[in-house]
Structure 1
Amino acid sequence: MTGTAANLAALVLAAGFSSRMGRLKSLLPLGEATVIERSIGSFLEAGVQDVRVVLGHRSEEIARVLEASGVTTIMNHEYEEGMYSSIRAAVRSLEPKVEAFFLLPGDLPLVRWQTVQHLTTIFAESGKRIIYPCFNGERGHPPIISTRYAQHILSWHGEGGLRALLNQYEDDALDIEIADPGVLLDMDTPEDYQRAVQWFKRGYVPAVQECMDLLEELKVDGRIVEHGRAVAQLARKWAMMLNQCGCRLNLDLIQAAGLLHDLAKGKPDHARVGADTLRERGYHAVAEIVAGHMDLGPEADAAIDERAILFLADKMVQGVRRIPLEERFQEKQKRFAAEPEILKNINRRLNHALAIKARIENLLGFTIETMEPRG
């Protein structure tokens, strides 16, 4: 079992009526592309070149959109019989050289390409014949299914769908927990679609468990994880108090950025590398904050925002211990005392941090080290 992208196919189902949506889901815009283009995009970006889209209802319209992508289209003339008829049509198209296939309903456009790559690796290494991506313990899409079951799928009566068939082979299956809520986020209704649109507009903000799953997936050192927890806790605490004073800070965004800000620690220019990693996963808003956690640049004198909060919190936590700003910078000032340019940058960051701290304390009315009223 090799399980490389070269001998895997991706089967995307887009033959249905979209009756609950009221509009053809596949052709709805999502960012700069359509839903169906997003659905096939994760496979193409992950290196899966054999992508097949099953069409039925309004097939010609969808096929025109897909022409430039190079994917194969399969016509399901029995699409009115439901999704399982599309699964049969897709599986029937597979040649003997195909070892296994991904299966994705076309209304799940938010699966990340990294998820596809990860599942491909697990399939190659695990020896299992069915791999399910899971988020928070719930199975999602796209599973990888060995073509060993192709004839079983074709001869299955269809009752209970593919899930009922595969339930018979649980010993051959493996659940993989992955930090990608997109494996569960389908688009059945207009409300689902609007949530997906907002995801693209603002950039998805991961919940705490998603952050921890990502840190585990990237094998981030435990000490760095604990530092992130401490920074996130402090930054969120300040943000909550500032919001009570009239600020409008996004607490979830600050917490996620605090947990993830050092995920690339140890690599050159780790703030940029970490931000790039987060952008690749769709966490654009978090990435912008992480990118500035080492140095805010000239905008440091602007109003208090999420970037400023994280920048300061990171400077006032060493390991998991809260320390005064001057103490945090003192060691570096001594180490680079004979190197004027480096020392200049160190002092500039210290001054930025002191200015942010002063603005926060003016808003809150007390010193943030002691949480006591300012004298």
Structure 2
Amino acid sequence: MMPRIGAVILAAGTASRMGRQKLLLPLGDKPVLAHVLAVVSQIPFADRLMIIGEPQQELAALGSQYGIRSVYNPDRISGQATSIAKAISHLDGEVDGVLFLPGDQPLITADLVQALLSCFGENANNRRIVVPFHKGQYRSPVLFGAAWLKELAALSGDKGGREIIRNHPEVIAAVEWFEEASFRDADTWDDYLELVQYLHKY
């Protein structure tokens, strides 16, 4: 039986480096965030949800267009850990693992997501953490087996799951991925402009 995997899109950041709400900026024919939503919506996850900040109504409406429910995080200023904890508490039913996807990584592909899911399924271990590996570095999105959900929910600040990954190399299953575009994000205005140019080129 295939593992039950939940998908969580992290879209509650304050965009402090960008200085504006980056997830709703236009990129090609849809907003930055919509590219991630479109990928998640086409894969049969056991549950899909998005943790959002402001503007709450616009972000939630965008999620609903793709059949993805939204959970507002009023504590997002305290760091990404609050979004992870809120997501875990709102997952619908028991899951074998959770894939956490950044909302500002718009060129992520369904092929990459499927490769992570396949790797987790082959290992069949709820302590496994599946991470894409590109040019000598671990990247996002990351799939945590269910055994880590309690520890993830107890994180604080802006660490996300990086600390768990660093402290437990023995449980990491790395999926080597050669395509760089999937890992481009929109942290800064220059990053965003590069994404626009990349899509225009290809």
Equivalent pair of 1:134/1:183 in contact (CA under 8 Å) = no
Measured after TM superposition, the shift of residue 2 of structure 1 is 3.2
SS at 1:47's partner residue? coil
What is residue 65 of structure 2 aligned with on the other side? 68
Q: Which residue of 2 aligns with 1:2?
A: 2
Q: Tell me which of 25, 34, 39 is aligned to 1:37.
A: 34
Residues 157 and 62 of structure 1, relative CA distance in 2, 3 Å threshold: closer
Residues 196-249 of structure 1, C-alpha deviations (whole Å, 9 max, x = no match): 11121111xxxxxxxxxxxxxxxxxxxxxxxxxxxxxxxxxxxxxxxxxxxxxx
Name the structure, 1 or 2, with higher relative contact order (CA <8 Å, separation 6+): 2
Residues 9-56 of structure 1, C-alpha deviations (whole Å, 9 max, x = no match) = 111111122122122111011111111111122222333363211012
Cα 1:89/1:161, change in 2 over 3 Å? same
SS in 2 for 1:10: strand
| TM-score between both structures, scaled by the size of structure 2 | 0.90
Q: 1:50 to 1:159 in 2, by over 3 A?
A: closer
Residues in 2 aligned to 1:21 and 1:159: alpha-carbon distance in whole angstroms: 17
Q: 1:135 to 1:161 in 2, by over 3 A?
A: same
Look up the match of 1:148: 147
Structure 1 residue matching 2:199: 3-state secondary structure: helix
For residue 27 of structure 1, give the secondary structure of its aligned residue in structure 2.
coil
Alignment of 1:186-265 (within 5 A): 186-203=185-202
Partner of 2:166: 167
Unaligned runs of 5+ in 2: none
Which 5+ residue runs of structure 1 have no aligned equivalent?
A: 204-375
Do 1:140 and 1:183's aligned partners in 2 also have CA atoms closer than 8 Å? no
2:49 aligned residue: 52
- The worse-fitting range, judged by mean Cα deviation, of 94-103 and 184-193 is 94-103
| Alignment match of 2:82 (pick from 57, 80, 85) | 85
CA shift for structure 1 position 179: 2.7
Shift of 1:66: 2.2
**How many residue pairs align between the two structures?**
200
Q: TM-score, normalised by structure 1?
A: 0.50
The structure having more radius of gyration, on CA atoms, is 1
Task: Give how far 1:159 is off.
Answer: 6.9
Tell me which protein shows more strand as a share of its residues: 2
Amino acid at match of 1:87: I
Aligned mate of 1:94, from 88, 91, 95: 91
What letter corresponds to residue 89 of structure 1 in structure 2?
K
**How is 1:171-190 mapped onto 2 (pairs within 5 angstroms)?**
171-190=170-189
SS of equivalent to 2:175 = strand
Deviation of residue 157 (structure 1)? 3.9
Single out whichever of 180-189 and 132-141 deviates more from structure 2. 180-189
State the distance in 2 between where 1:93 and 1:117 align.
Answer: 23
Quick check: 2:7–2:45 contact (8 Å CA) kept in 1?
yes
In 1, are the aligned partners of 2:115 and 2:175 still within 8 Å (CA)?
A: no
1:300-311 map, 5 Å: none
Matched residue SS, 1:70: coil
Partner of 1:113: 110
Q: How much does 1:160 deviate? A: 4.0
Q: Secondary structure at the match of 1:51?
A: strand
Q: Matched residues in 2 for 1:97 and 1:114: separation?
A: 25
Q: CA deviation at 1:99?
A: 1.1
Q: 1:25 is paired with a residue of what secondary structure?
A: coil
1 CA distance for matches of 2:150 and 2:194?
38
Alignment of 1:133-144 (within 5 A): 133-144=132-143
Rounded Cα–Cα distance in structure 2 between residues aligned with 1:156 and 1:67:
28
CA contact (8 A) 1:133 1:183 kept: no
- Report the AA paired with residue 105 of structure 1: P
CA contact (8 A) 2:24 2:31 kept: yes
1:310-332 Cα distance to aligned partner (Å, 9 max, x none): xxxxxxxxxxxxxxxxxxxxxxx
